[in-house]
Amino acid sequence: MKEETEGKSKYSPFSFASMASFWQPEYLVESGWIEHIPFAFWLVENARPKMLVELGAYTGLSYFTFCQTIKNLKIKSKCFAVDTWLGDEQTGFYDPGTYDDVFKYNQDIYGGFSSLIHAPFSNRAYNERICSINFQIHDKRIRLISSRSLWFSI
């Protein structure tokens, strides 16, 4: 909630930017998500999630942006990307090597705190590994409700 002091906001117009907002992504692939990268850096820096889950990782651009922030800022966090890596009618069907590429990059760079869960969202197979989600990002076409989570639709 914005507090006013003598008619002036205590927040500057720069409250929604930080040095992290200007970082260069270490992982970059063609994606409609590219323009969200500065916001993702800022969001994770400010939220500092203990557990982050992304439903629908596709090529990993958004997920690896979140992981890069967690690694660079040394945030103690566990991260999970849940996807079938098959694709769908909306996004198109993925190349069979997509999962292998994402898996290898994840293991090489973020394997200490990040896991990929190769499962459909609907069966919630990932719930056994994810006990307490406090930050979840999911594709806008996924409709989910949880009383113990803060859900963002990007």
Return d(Cα 17, Cα 122) in angstroms, integer: 35
Is 14's pLDDT higher than 80? no
Return d(Cα 144, Cα 18) in angstroms, integer: 31
Q: Calculate ∠ Cα 104-53-28, nearest 5°.
A: 45
pLDDT recorded at residue 35: 94
Is 22's pLDDT higher than 50? yes
Grade residue 18 by pLDDT with cuts at 50, 70 and 90. confident
Domain boundaries, the chain: 35-141
CA distances from 129 to 7, 34, 66, 79, 89 (A): 49, 29, 19, 11, 28
The predicted model scores a pTM of 0.75
Q: Which fold has domain 35-141?
A: Rossmann fold (3.40.50)
